[in-house]
Structure 1
Amino acid sequence: MFAWTCATVGYFDPALLDCIAARALGSLAHFNAQDLGNLMYAYAQLDHPHGQLVREVTERFVSDEAMLRDDDACVSIAWANLAIGQYPLPLLEHLMEPNRVRCVIETGDQNSLNFLLRLQVLLAAEQPHLDLSLPHGSAVFARALLLSRWSHPRSKLLTSITNALSKITGSDSNFTLEALTTSLHFIDIEIMLDDRGNPIPVPNHWRSWADLQSLIDSPLLCPRLQDLLRNQVSRREVTEPDQSFSLASDWAKLVGGSLEGVARRVAVEVDGPWHYAANCTHTLGKTLLKHRILRCLGWTVISIPYFEWQELKSKQAQVEFLRTKLFTTCH
């Protein structure tokens, strides 16, 4: 499908997307579940809201039990709805049905696991009145965490911004790089500020695979899931014995940490070319969704677009640009 191809290569053309939507609306009866999912993925990823198309696709999809068995399509259609601020209850109830969630955990469908975690964040922050909760939540979290990839090569852009930030905050101990959130996103740079806007030294919360044992031993997990997760931890301890990861501040309550004295938590997102359309500087949907979830979790999000940073011709200009971004947004 052409819309899916555009989204895959990051080509953004609003007029073309409107034309595709107009044609699709007249022929949705001929689309299968994968077609509908791919279509919605395109509009969500390219961040081109089309309310009528999303509503009609959703109605067609949820009315067909056979289509609802396509998990990838479910996630894409739900994402397209979230992108336009819609929470279609029948689709969300299906996504969070206990037996389906258990199946997703056991099969290790990481796309669905991550989406469920992030959907839970959005529901709690934006739709608290909806009577929806994620079943087997601790198992979803543990399984998704163990499936995550931790190798993130540090870009030259991030290094350059980090150097400038060190001059502003006075020390690189006043921020954390590549901090893992409870929504299983990585924040490029996390800064914590006191009520005067001064950086607070960040506790160095590093964790290894062995530290996940408390999650696995939770009485909320059935023995079968506990065995599955223990085996996965054991494999990663063998294959990645030195692997550790830095935890973001939203883990504080889970790991016995404290946010005392913290007035504001700032997430600096270093948005390189892959966060934007290939043919323009239009921000892509996955990046916007991440920023939205981080805000729901309590962060002030500051985006540093690569094309703005590249325009800065001196280190002093970089420092002033970052200082303005940081203190204008946070006050």
Structure 2
Amino acid sequence: LACHLATLNNALVGVPTARDVLIEVIDVIEAVSKGLSPSPLNPLNMATTLHRISKNMEKVYMFKSDRLGFVRQRDMAVLVSLAMGSLPHCSAQGISNIAWALSKIGGETIYWSEMDRIAEVSMTRMSEFNTQNVANLAGAFASMQHDAPGLFIKLAKRESCMASYFRPQELAQLLWLFSVLYHSADPLLDSLDSIYNNWINKNAKHMDSNANAMDCTTEGGESGQNQFELNSEAKIPQMELNDPFENQYENDIVETVEDLEFDDYYEIVESNSALQVSTGPLFNDFTRDQLEVVAWSYTINQCLKLEYPHLGLSVGTEFENRVAEACKTKKFNKKTTSLLQKEVGRLLVSTGFDWEQEYSVDGYTLDVVIHHKKVGLEIDGPSHFSRNTGSPLGPTMLKHRYLASAGWHVVSLSWQE
């Protein structure tokens, strides 16, 4: 038993289910309470335990209701309490793993005080975080819609120092955090701007030097041609299918379209294979994630056309037409009407106006409108706000801003009111 406990971390990695992981560590906790020494319940094992539980939940696509039922167990409460107690002694990797695990286990529903504590500890250890740690921490707070302004200021500064080392997916997670919770990421964006300009200048020099080499070659010029082809292949690393569209959507939200070298970057996005969705099948066989990418691309395109027409960056009509057709299908365009929305709709009848519900405007849906007056009422539920501060989320702000730009007078009625 002592040998097994000494290698608890390795043992946890091989446990197949979330419940088995919990049973394994609870046995150890009970042994420690009976006098086992030295205790194997160190910060590394606490972080590993929560991380393996969340990983195993993800592996079997556990439903949210089942996850919440799992969390309500006394043993799980004991484990989380011990993990939070060990938090100040965890490595940066351990802190980010615990944050990531809690976001996957509890979603946006629970662990409010725990995330506040993680933010507090993270701010004191920010210099130790690497790119992966920062990205996982940011992803956790964004997915839980948990606001932590002080942490995000320090995250933006830390990210700006490491901007050239981020992988595309990590960068997408970071921009997602700042756009979802509607915070400025100016230090990071400034660093990315600088890196991109340096990349452009460096490749321009390569092309100039290769052009000169071609002029100086002997008859036939094979050497210069080969050098030019080799250097011309230098490019920004390829992103995953959703990364370019996700980044652009986030830039739209935080209104940095004109601050970045946006037009150059958008040309890269246009040439990316992700945009070839416009020439592929008509979205009928797309997964939910792929449909989300299409929705992002459509929103980006509409914002560029309406708010930034002078940039001339919107894609062609073929893509717009294909997305418009897809939006008409039941799979793509699922409308839901909340009980609160129905109740408000019934009350509005007494005003004497001709109210219309679920009215579509350029891919967005207004809850209730007076069409001929371009007046809309948005009933914003809990998912439109940060769960702990009640401030509007980025996508909600973007929707209101876009509709206002389109000439609509939108009145927001929050669920708190």
Q: CA deviation at 1:279?
A: 0.3
The answer on whether the counterparts of 2:168 and 2:243 sit within 8 Å (CA) in structure 1 is yes
User: What is the letter of the counterpart of residue 364 of structure 2?
Assistant: H
Q: CA deviation at 1:282?
A: 0.6
User: What is the letter of the counterpart of residue 75 of structure 1?
Assistant: F
TM alignment of 1:55-134, pairs within 5 A: 55-57=190-192, 60=195, 65=235, 67-87=237-257, 88-97=262-271, 100-103=274-277, 106=280, 108=283, 109-134=290-315
Aligned to 2:357: 177
User: What is the letter of the counterpart of residue 324 of structure 2?
Assistant: F
Q: Does 1:28 align with 2:156?
A: no
Identity over aligned residues, as a percent?
A: 21
Partner SS for 2:172: helix
Alignment partner of 2:183 out of 48, 60, 63: 48
Name the TM-score, length of structure 2 as normaliser.
0.51
TM alignment of 1:265-304, pairs within 5 A: 265-304=374-413
User: What is the letter of the counterpart of residue 23 of structure 1?
Assistant: R
Task: Assess, with a 3 A threshold, how the Cα gap between structure 1 residues 59 and 45 changes in structure 2: closer, same or farther.
Answer: farther
Task: Assess, with a 3 A threshold, how the Cα gap between structure 1 residues 282 and 94 changes in structure 2: closer, same or farther.
Answer: same
Partner SS for 2:369: strand
Query: Per residue, is there more helix in 1 or in 2?
Result: 2
Per-residue CA deviation, residues 37-66 of structure 1 (Å, 9 max, x unaligned), is: 010011000000122212434665795845
Aligned to 1:247: none
Partner SS for 1:67: coil
Task: Assess, with a 3 A threshold, how the Cα gap between structure 1 residues 144 and 58 changes in structure 2: closer, same or farther.
Answer: farther
Query: Per residue, is there more strand in 1 or in 2?
Result: 1
Task: Assess, with a 3 A threshold, how the Cα gap between structure 1 residues 50 and 301 changes in structure 2: closer, same or farther.
Answer: same
Task: Assess, with a 3 A threshold, how the Cα gap between structure 1 residues 110 and 94 changes in structure 2: closer, same or farther.
Answer: farther
Aligned to 2:219: none
Give the distance between the partners of 1:59 and 1:290, measured in 2 at CA.
Answer: 30
Aligned to 1:186: 365
Per-residue CA deviation, residues 183-206 of structure 1 (Å, 9 max, x unaligned), is: 2222111113xxxxxxxxxxxxxx
Per-residue CA deviation, residues 144-193 of structure 1 (Å, 9 max, x unaligned), is: 443413241x222112211221112x26xx11111223x2222111113x
Partner SS for 2:315: coil
User: What is the letter of the counterpart of residue 263 of structure 2?
Assistant: L
The answer on whether the counterparts of 2:181 and 2:393 sit within 8 Å (CA) in structure 1 is yes
TM alignment of 1:156-305, pairs within 5 A: 156-168=339-351, 170=352, 174-181=354-361, 183-192=362-371, 262=372, 264-305=373-414
> Which blocks of at least 5 consecutive residues in structure 2 are unaligned?
1-135, 200-233, 284-289
User: What is the letter of the counterpart of residue 386 of structure 2?
Assistant: A
Give the distance between the partners of 1:68 and 1:295, measured in 2 at CA.
Answer: 35
> Which blocks of at least 5 consecutive residues in structure 1 are unaligned?
193-261, 309-331
The answer on whether the counterparts of 1:121 and 1:297 sit within 8 Å (CA) in structure 2 is no
User: What is the letter of the counterpart of residue 341 of structure 2?
Assistant: L
Name the TM-score, length of structure 1 as normaliser.
0.64
Task: Assess, with a 3 A threshold, how the Cα gap between structure 1 residues 269 and 59 changes in structure 2: closer, same or farther.
Answer: farther
Give the distance between the partners of 2:272 and 2:314, measured in 1 at CA.
Answer: 10
Alignment partner of 1:155 out of 322, 338, 343: 338
Greater mean alpha carbon deviation, residues 39-48 or residues 296-305: 296-305
Partner SS for 1:277: coil
Task: Assess, with a 3 A threshold, how the Cα gap between structure 1 residues 97 and 158 changes in structure 2: closer, same or farther.
Answer: same
Q: CA deviation at 1:99?
A: 6.2
Give the distance between the partners of 2:155 and 2:256, measured in 1 at CA.
Answer: 21
Give the distance between the partners of 2:344 and 2:277, measured in 1 at CA.
Answer: 42
Task: Assess, with a 3 A threshold, how the Cα gap between structure 1 residues 299 and 26 changes in structure 2: closer, same or farther.
Answer: same
Count of aligned residue pairs for this structure pair: 233
Partner SS for 1:49: coil
Greater mean alpha carbon deviation, residues 270-279 or residues 16-25: 16-25
The answer on whether the counterparts of 1:116 and 1:134 sit within 8 Å (CA) in structure 2 is no
Aligned to 2:125: none
Partner SS for 1:270: strand
Give the distance between the partners of 1:84 and 1:150, measured in 2 at CA.
Answer: 27
Per-residue CA deviation, residues 258-308 of structure 1 (Å, 9 max, x unaligned), is: xxxx3x301211001110001011100111111122223321111001112
Give the distance between the partners of 1:50 and 1:289, measured in 2 at CA.
Answer: 16
Q: CA deviation at 1:82?
A: 1.9
User: What is the letter of the counterpart of residue 189 of structure 1?
Assistant: V
Partner SS for 2:252: helix
Give the distance between the partners of 1:105 and 1:93, measured in 2 at CA.
Answer: 18
The answer on whether the counterparts of 1:36 and 1:57 sit within 8 Å (CA) in structure 2 is no
The answer on whether the counterparts of 1:54 and 1:80 sit within 8 Å (CA) in structure 2 is no
Give the distance between the partners of 2:155 and 2:279, measured in 1 at CA.
Answer: 36
Higher relative contact order (CA 8 A, sep 6+): 1
Greater C-alpha radius of gyration? 2
CA RMSD across the alignment: 2.5
